[in-house]
Structures are given as C-alpha cells and as structure tokens.
Amino acid sequence: MTYDFDLIVIGAGSGGVRCARIAAGHGAKVAIIEKQHWGGTCVNIGCVPKKLMMFASTFGDLVEDSHGYGWDTQKGHHHWQQLIQAKDKEINRLNEIYVSMLQKAGVTIFRGAASFKDAHTINIAQSVLSEDNAQGLLNITAKHIVIATGSSPSILDVEGKEHAITSDQAFYLKERPQRVSIVGSGYIGIEFAGIFAGLGSQVDLVYRQPLPLRGFDQDMRQALHDAIAARSGITQHTGRSPVKVSKDGNVYQLHLDNGEVIETDCVFFATGRHPNIEGLGLENAQIEITKKKQIIVNDDFVTSASNVYAIGDVIDKINLTPVAIAQGHALADRLFAGKVRKSAYDATPKAVFFYPPLASVGLSEEEAEQKGEVEIYISQFTSMKYVFTERKIKTYIKMIVDKASQNVVGLHMLGDDAPEIMQGFAVAIAAGLTKSDFDQTIGIHPSSAEELVTLRQVTRTSQKS
Ligand code: NDP
C-alpha cells in the first residue's frame, strides 16, 4: 500500500507542531493540517497572551511598591487597547514563526478542517494549500495519523449562558470591563481574576468549592485563597454556583444558587475545557472515546485504530502545553527513529500565574499520605522585597517528604517567582532526591528559594487515618 505521506498531523498546536517537526527531521514525509490557529491554543488564546496580560497586570502595584524605595512615580491609567494591539502583533509574529518553522522542516502545510474518511484517509474541507495543493487535493492519505486538535472552553448549561464569555473572547475584548464576574476557580479563573484586578477591574470570583484550585495541596489552596483575599479588587464567593445569567441594556446579572445576584459588565465562564473532536469523523476510523469525549489511547498514544495516535488536550492525560510537546516528540521518535524518549510525567510541574504565583511539583500532602507516613515542612514569610512596601506579599513554601525513604515527593510554593524556582526544583523531584540531598545544597543568599534547601524543622507528620 502506498500513501501520500508517512505522517499526517491534525492540529498545529504545541503537540502537533513538535510531532510534525521531529518526524520530518527523522526523514518522514509529513503533512500538517490546521483550520485556524498556527501554534494552537497556547500561542493564540492561552499561555502566551495570558502571560503577557499577566505581566501587564502587575505594573500598577509595582509602581506603588516603588514608593517605599524612594520613587515618586504615579500609577496612572491603563490603556487596554494598547495592550491588546501589542499582544496581537506579538501573536501574529509567533504565527508566522510557527509556519516558517514547519516549512523549513519540510512539512507540507494544509489550511482547512480535517476529517477521517477512513483510518488512512483524511478529507480536508475548504483547504487553501500553498503550492502543494495546486490540484485542489481534498483527500490525502498517510501510513500514520496523529490527532492533536486540543480543547475548547466549556460553557455551563444555565439559562442566559449566551451572555457569558470564555477565555477565547476575553483575549479580544474591545474594552476592559469595569466589573467582571468570573465563574470557576481552576487555572483560568484564578489567572484572569488576577489579570483583570491588576488592570483596575472589580472582580467577583464565584466558585463552588470552599477553596480554589481543587486537586492542589489543601494548604496551598488555603494560602492561595488568603492571597486572593489580600489582593485588592477581588471578592470571592465560595461554595456558590451560577443558575442564570440575565442582561439589562449593557449590564449583566449573574444569579447564584443562594439567591444572590451580582451586577456586572461581563460574565466570564472559566469552567473547564472539552476535547476538540467535533467534525473529525472519528467513527469512520473506529476511534473510541471516553464518556467525556476524550480520545482513548494506550501508553504509546495509540488509539483504537492501530495506525492512528492522539496527543495533548484531546486525550485523557495531563492537559498542559509542555506535556503535549513531550508526547508529540516521544511519538515522532518512536515511529520514525525507533527511539524511546522518556518523560517524568509524575513530576510534571504546574504553575498558576496569579500574583503571587503558585507552583507545584510532585504530590500533594493528601496524595502522599495515601502511600505512607510523610513529614511535612512548612515555611511562611514575607519576602525581603516587601520590607519597604505597603503591601506585604506572603510566601508559603511546603515540602512533603516520604518518612521511610526520605525522598522529597512534593514541593509547593506560593510567592514571587514560584514558577521559575519550581522549574529548577522539578529536576530534583524527577530525580527522586532525598531531604538530605536538599540539605547538602548550598543556598543563594539572600533569596526566597534558599528556604527550600534550609528547611530544618518538621512541621508535622501525617498519614492516612
Ligand atoms: P479547570 O478544570 O482547571 O477548572 C474548572 C473550574 O470550573 C473549577 O473551579 C470547577 O469547579 C468549575 N466548574 C466546572 N463545572 C462546573 C459546574 N457545573 N458548576 C460550577 N462550577 C464548575 O479548568 P480551567 O477552565 O480553569 O482550565 C482548563 C485547563 O487548561 C486546566 O485544567 C489546565 O489543564 C489548562 N490551563 C493551564 C494553565 C497553566 O498551566 N497555567 C493556564 C490555563 C489553563 P470544581 O473544582 O468544583 O470542579
């Protein structure tokens, strides 16, 4: 059987692009199909614009912090349109870089919506191909096909849901809403609450748990809750869910399950994401999905069709950009170079870009104590930067050590630069280092990070009761 390509990748997001480029580098004949965003969610409507907007949101407070250090700078007014234009320009630049990287790697690029005709044949609708599509080719075939179509924000099914926006629209708002009601306390809800508050909006953050970030370490959730409470401009409505959204002129009302009604200029649902499988024709290739519509794969990312693979947010694994990239790379290495590329998925570091940010690697205390007795080290302090400032941002550090082996199995930090610091310490957790390895490490002084290698006193021991 001969095919047009060795590999077709559907979706040019982080995972798909990495897979296509590495496969092409191994000598495979590769095509990639993308219908909208070159670089996917991360580059266009996710990590990258979010981080730029997060940076923007921090300057106002830093100006005020500077007064304690002798500066007489004034905070002034933030110009939303200027930020959005600068962000869009940067994203256009990145889009072009992604396309040119693929072309330089020798990958054939198709623009259009892909769907399976069968397990080896992809139909491309409305494809506008560069030179390769000169003959209006609509069906292409490949020996191997990778689905890397990512995910999209989910909207809660409540009355008036059409009035709500998601993160997809939040990046393109014409004006910054003066009042924003955000539903959900996962990554997106927390990060956007920080962004809008930092830029001057009044934020109502509504979530159904007593603490934000379900799934993270309980103490860290409490520390984040307290940090949100200490941050001006955000009101937390805990233990609440929305039941209805209504609109009156330009004003919206978010109705909660306790009868409370929040008046606002923007209702923003940050209530999870769902895999992008609609229109892919998965049934034509007998590709099976879970009840949550995630594509089912084995440890090698093989779907129920043996020549079709899936990676990234479309499968039931950790939904983070670096994980999708690692999966795409490993798959390309395995298929076209016969190499096994390992990643320490158990030690995947996570960061929530609030101010202060929270970052974690390894197990929470609740997860660790399921496995045996653990020693918990906790350190809380106000970092030196805030000695002269009016606001006092607290740093909270937590280390979880397996008592029997003395392996450090979890590290968590809420505080300035936590993601940068925890990225380095993730190596130690992935390598399975012990508390004494940490103790032998010399600190950098003065820094907040040195605290991680100078934790002396066990705060408590804990074990599943
Ligand atoms: P999350 O799954 O992180 O959070 C969803 C939030 O919505 C939770 O607070 C959840 O509550 C709430 N929710 C869900 N369903 C309902 C409901 N029916 N009624 C009321 N509340 C509800 O999703 P996000 O949208 O924040 O982010 C999606 C994913 O994107 C993340 O999981 C992450 O993988 C990725 N991401 C990563 C980032 C990073 O690395 N910094 C940044 C942004 C996104 P409950 O907890 O009770 O279920």
**Contacting residues for 293 by C-beta, under 8 A, at least 6 apart:** 274, 275, 277
CA of 357 to the centre of ligand 1 (A): 17
**Atom 22 of ligand 1 has which residue's CA nearest to it?**
271
Reference 366, options 261, 234, 219; nearest CA is 219
Q: In the numeric block, which tokens belong to residue 241?
A: 């869910």
CA of 189 to the centre of ligand 1 (A): 7
CA of 269 to the centre of ligand 1 (A): 10
Mark the binding-site residues, compressed into ranges.
Answer: 51, 149-151, 184-191, 272, 313
* Dihedral class, residue 310 (left if φ above 0, else alpha if ψ from -120 to 50, else beta): beta
Q: 213 by DSSP, 3-state: which?
A: coil
CA of 144 to the centre of ligand 1 (A): 33
C-beta of 303 in contact with ligand 1 (< 6 A): no
User: To the nearest whole percent, how much of the chain has pLDDT over 70?
Assistant: 97
125 pLDDT band, cuts 50/70/90, is confident
C-beta of 458 in contact with ligand 1 (< 6 A): no
C-alpha distances in Å from residue 342, one per residue of 17, 330, 389: 19, 7, 45
**Contacting residues for 331 by C-beta, under 8 A, at least 6 apart:** 19, 146, 300, 301, 309, 311
Average pLDDT over residues 127-145: 69
C-beta of 207 in contact with ligand 1 (< 6 A): yes
Average pLDDT over residues 165-192: 98
Flag the least confident range among 122-136, 152-166, 286-300, 360-374. 122-136
C-beta of 363 in contact with ligand 1 (< 6 A): no
**Contacting residues for 21 by C-beta, under 8 A, at least 6 apart:** 101, 102, 105, 107, 332
Contact 28, 40 (CB under 8 A): no
Q: Quick: pLDDT tens for 269-313.
A: 999 999 999 999 999 999 999 999 999 999 999 999 999 999 999
134 pLDDT band, cuts 50/70/90, is very low
Residue 186 pLDDT > 80, yes or no? yes
CA of 375 to the centre of ligand 1 (A): 30
1 pLDDT band, cuts 50/70/90, is confident
C-beta of 54 in contact with ligand 1 (< 6 A): no
d(C-alpha 390, C-alpha 397), whole Å: 22
126 pLDDT band, cuts 50/70/90, is low
* Confidence at residue 255, expressed as pLDDT on a 0 to 100 scale: 98
Q: 402 by DSSP, 3-state: which?
A: strand
How far does CA 157 lie from the centroid of its chain? 23
138 pLDDT band, cuts 50/70/90, is confident
137 pLDDT band, cuts 50/70/90, is low
Residue 188 CA: nearest ligand 1 atom is 26
Average pLDDT over residues 357-381: 97
Burial 124-163 (b: 16+ CB within 10 A, else e): beebebeeebeeeebebbbbbbbbbbbbbbebeebebeee
Residue 87 pLDDT > 70, yes or no? yes
Report the catalytic residues.
445
C-beta of 302 in contact with ligand 1 (< 6 A): no
**Atom 25 of ligand 1 has which residue's CA nearest to it?**
272
464 pLDDT band, cuts 50/70/90, is confident
C-beta of 319 in contact with ligand 1 (< 6 A): yes
Average pLDDT over residues 319-327: 98
d(C-alpha 156, C-alpha 321), whole Å: 24
The pLDDT mean for the chain works out to 96
**Contacting residues for 431 by C-beta, under 8 A, at least 6 apart:** none
Q: In the numeric block, which tokens belong to residue 193?
A: 């609450």
**Contacting residues for 301 by C-beta, under 8 A, at least 6 apart:** 146, 309, 310, 311, 315, 327, 330, 331
Q: Quick: pLDDT tens for 59-86.
A: 999 999 999 999 999 999 999 999 999 9
Reference 229, options 237, 241, 240; nearest CA is 237
- Classify strands 308-310 and 139-147 as parallel, antiparallel or unpaired: parallel
C-beta of 241 in contact with ligand 1 (< 6 A): yes
Average pLDDT over residues 7-15: 98
Helix (H) or strand (E) holding 422: helix 418-430
236 pLDDT band, cuts 50/70/90, is very high
Owner of token pair 């609740």: 366
208, 228, 258: which to mutate for ligand 1, most atoms within 8 A of CB? 208
**Contacting residues for 291 by C-beta, under 8 A, at least 6 apart:** none
* Confidence at residue 160, expressed as pLDDT on a 0 to 100 scale: 98
- Classify strands 394-402 and 179-183 as parallel, antiparallel or unpaired: unpaired
Burial of 10 (0-12, 13-18, 19+ CB in 10 A): buried
Strand partners, 273: 153
d(C-alpha 294, C-alpha 66), whole Å: 48
Reference 378, options 257, 219, 244; nearest CA is 219
Contact 83, 198 (CB under 8 A): no
Q: In the numeric block, which tokens belong to residue 357?
A: 């940010």
Mark the binding-site residues for FAD, compressed into ranges.
Answer: 51, 149-151, 313
Average pLDDT over residues 263-271: 98
User: To the nearest whole percent, how much of the chain has pLDDT over 90?
Assistant: 96
d(C-alpha 431, C-alpha 180), whole Å: 43
Per DSSP, 1 falls in state -
CA of 212 to the centre of ligand 1 (A): 10
- Domains of the chain with CATH codes: 5-45+85-152+274-343 (3.50.50.60), 161-271 (3.50.50.60), 347-462 (3.30.390.30)
